[in-house]
Structure 1
Amino acid sequence: MTEPTPASGLPAQLLADPAMVAACQARNFTEIFRLAKARGGFHPSRIARACELTPSRVGEVIAGRREIANMTVIERIADGLRIPGHLVGLAPRAWERPEAARKPTALPADSVLPSRELDDILAIAASTRVTPTVLRSLQASIEDYWRRDDEHGGEALRPAVIGQLRYVLGILRDTADPNHQRSLHGIAAELARLTGWTYFDARQYSTARSYFTESLRLAREIDDRPFIANVLSCLSLQATYEDRAREAVILARAAQDSARLDGGAPRLMAMLSMREAFGHASAHDQDATHRAIEEAGRHFDRIDQADEEPAWVQYFDRTKLTVDTGIALGQLGDAAAAEPLIRDALRAETSANQRGRAFHAYWLARTQLQRGEVELACSTAGEALGLTTEVGSPRVVAHLQEFRHQLAPYRSTRPAAELSARIQEMRA
Structure 2
Amino acid sequence: MIRAHEGLDQPWDNTGLHQLLKELDTVPTRRVVLAATGTVLTTLAWQSLAAPRPRLTAPGKPTTAVPPSALQIVDSLVAAAQAADDREGSSARQTIRMSIPVIVRLLQEGEYSPETGAHLARSLAQICQTLAFMHHEELAAGASQRLYLMALRAAHAASDRALVASILALMSGQAADHGQAADAVQLAAAATEAAAHSAPSVRALVAARKAIAHASARELDAFESSIDDSNRFFEQAAHQVGAPSWAGYADRTELDAIAGRGLVLLAAKRTADPLIALPRAAELLQARAQTPLGGDHQRSALRHGALYSLAQARLGNLDTAVDAAETALTRLPTVASTRSMMLLRELASVLSQHSSAFPRARAIVYEVHDHCQRLRLR
TM score, norm. by length of structure 2: 0.75
CA deviation map 1:168-216 (0-9, x unaligned): 1112112232222221111111121122122111110100001110111
Residue 415 (structure 1) shift: 2.1
Is 1:336–2:279 an aligned residue pair? yes
Aligned pairs for 1:38-57 (under 5 A) are: none
Q: 1:360 to 1:411 in 2, by over 3 A?
A: same
Is 1:182–2:86 an aligned residue pair? no
Whole-Å separation in 2 of the counterparts to 1:132 and 1:143: 17
- Number of aligned residue pairs: give it: 304
Q: 1:238 to 1:193 in 2, by over 3 A?
A: same
Is 1:139–2:81 an aligned residue pair? no
Residue 127 (structure 1) shift: 5.0
SS of equivalent to 2:316 = coil
Of 161, 165, 169, which aligns to 1:233? 169
CA deviation map 1:255-296 (0-9, x unaligned): 110111xx1321111111111111122233222211111111
Aligned partner of 1:66 in structure 2 is: none
Aligned partner of 1:171 in structure 2 is: 106
Aligned partner of 1:398 in structure 2 is: 342
Q: 1:208 to 1:344 in 2, by over 3 A?
A: closer
| Paired residues of 1:319 and 1:348 also in contact (CA < 8 A) | no
Q: 1:53 to 1:175 in 2, by over 3 A?
A: closer
Aligned pairs for 1:19-418 (under 5 A) are: 128-155=64-91, 157-177=92-112, 178-260=114-196, 263-333=197-267, 334-347=277-290, 351-413=295-357, 414-418=359-363
CA deviation map 1:58-116 (0-9, x unaligned): xxxxxxxxxxxxxxxxxxxxxxxxxxxxxxxxxxxxxxxxxxxxxxxxxxxxxxxxxxx
| Paired residues of 2:181 and 2:216 also in contact (CA < 8 A) | yes
Question: In terms of mean alpha carbon deviation, does 407-416 or 250-259 score higher?
Answer: 407-416
| Paired residues of 2:314 and 2:350 also in contact (CA < 8 A) | no
SS of equivalent to 1:304 = helix
Instruction: Return the structure number with greater relative CO, CA threshold 8 A, min gap 6.
Output: 2
Of 355, 371, 376, which aligns to 1:426? 371
Whole-Å separation in 2 of the counterparts to 1:305 and 1:141: 29
Amino acid at match of 1:266: P
Whole-Å separation in 2 of the counterparts to 1:205 and 1:301: 34
Whole-Å separation in 1 of the counterparts to 2:244 and 2:170: 16
Residue 230 (structure 1) shift: 1.0
Residue 306 (structure 1) shift: 4.7
Amino acid at match of 2:338: P
SS of equivalent to 2:198 = coil
Whole-Å separation in 2 of the counterparts to 1:339 and 1:396: 17
Whole-Å separation in 1 of the counterparts to 2:290 and 2:353: 29
SS of equivalent to 1:303 = helix
Q: 1:391 to 1:349 in 2, by over 3 A?
A: closer
Amino acid at match of 1:423: V
Whole-Å separation in 1 of the counterparts to 2:89 and 2:286: 24
Q: 1:149 to 1:309 in 2, by over 3 A?
A: same
Residue 349 (structure 1) shift: 6.7
SS of equivalent to 1:389 = coil
SS of equivalent to 1:407 = helix
Whole-Å separation in 2 of the counterparts to 1:53 and 1:223: 26
| Paired residues of 2:164 and 2:191 also in contact (CA < 8 A) | yes
| Paired residues of 1:319 and 1:349 also in contact (CA < 8 A) | no
Q: 1:53 to 1:408 in 2, by over 3 A?
A: farther
Aligned partner of 2:30 in structure 1 is: none
| Paired residues of 2:65 and 2:111 also in contact (CA < 8 A) | no
| Paired residues of 2:179 and 2:216 also in contact (CA < 8 A) | yes
| Paired residues of 2:119 and 2:158 also in contact (CA < 8 A) | no
SS of equivalent to 1:302 = helix
Whole-Å separation in 2 of the counterparts to 1:338 and 1:206: 30
| Paired residues of 1:366 and 1:403 also in contact (CA < 8 A) | yes
Aligned partner of 2:45 in structure 1 is: none
| Paired residues of 1:146 and 1:194 also in contact (CA < 8 A) | yes
Q: 1:242 to 1:266 in 2, by over 3 A?
A: same
Q: Could you list the runs of 5+ residues in structure 1 that have no partner in the other structure?
A: 1-51, 55-123
Q: Could you list the runs of 5+ residues in structure 2 that have no partner in the other structure?
A: 1-35, 39-59, 268-276, 374-378
Whole-Å separation in 2 of the counterparts to 1:338 and 1:171: 46
| Paired residues of 1:175 and 1:181 also in contact (CA < 8 A) | no
SS of equivalent to 2:329 = helix
Identity of aligned residues (%): 24
| Paired residues of 1:274 and 1:296 also in contact (CA < 8 A) | yes
Q: 1:133 to 1:301 in 2, by over 3 A?
A: same
Q: 1:267 to 1:129 in 2, by over 3 A?
A: same
Aligned partner of 1:116 in structure 2 is: none
| Paired residues of 1:271 and 1:316 also in contact (CA < 8 A) | yes
SS of equivalent to 1:392 = coil
